[in-house]
Amino acid sequence: MRILPTIFAFLLSSLLFSQKMNLTDFAHSKTGDDILKAVSIIKRDYSAKKKRVVLEIPPGIYTLTQPLVLDKYISLEGDASGGTVLQVKVQNMEGIILENNRSETDINSGYNTIRNLTITGPDFGKNPFEWKDTSKNNIRSIGIKIQGLRNRIENCTIDGFSMERHFGVRKLLQLHQR
């Protein structure tokens, strides 16, 4: 009999903390602009009311023309098989930006989550060891720019972005190797 209260608590927390929506609820084609449009609508209709939404993105390749800026109420979830790919083809552009929420008072009520996505940058498929003129400023692209608190990234592949001059990434890799 102890299992019934546990199941009830789980279902209640699921209803209170986030609502799942599919990209197909907002658009019928598969473009990066459809994702931008869906995020904009979710911000207007749900984030303003402090309601959490998980935007499910079906399998496919989506080319982003501008960064996806997610506030603390929006999470992204792709296909678990690795079939959801967000492509960034523009140099000097982030793929996903998690907004800075440090000044917020209600950040303790959950996580921003990015799950089951492949994010490819403008250098995807290129030779990573090609010669570069280090006397020039390197063009910089970032897969996911994390600015806030309580963010979770699970089962994601990020490839084709330059890590040069990214102190945070280098420091993280150095700490991981110790």
Q: Does residue 96 sit within a domain? A: yes
* pLDDT tens digits for range 81-129: 779 999 988 877 888 888 766 666 655 566 778 899 998 888 787 776 6
Model pTM score: 0.72
Q: Does residue 1 sit within a domain? A: no
Q: Does residue 3 sit within a domain? A: no
**Domain total of the chain:** 1
Distance, CA of 176 to CA of 169 (rounded, Å): 10
Range of the domain at 94: 16-125+135-177
Range 126-139 average pLDDT: 62
* pLDDT tens digits for range 37-75: 999 999 999 888 888 899 999 999 999 989 888 888 889
Diameter of the chain measured on Cα atoms: 70
Helix (H) or strand (E) holding 101: none
Q: Does residue 8 sit within a domain? A: no
Query: Mean pLDDT, the chain, as a whole number?
Result: 75
* Residues paired with residue 88 on neighbouring β-strands, in sequence order: 64
Q: Does residue 6 sit within a domain? A: no
Distance, CA of 147 to CA of 118 (rounded, Å): 20
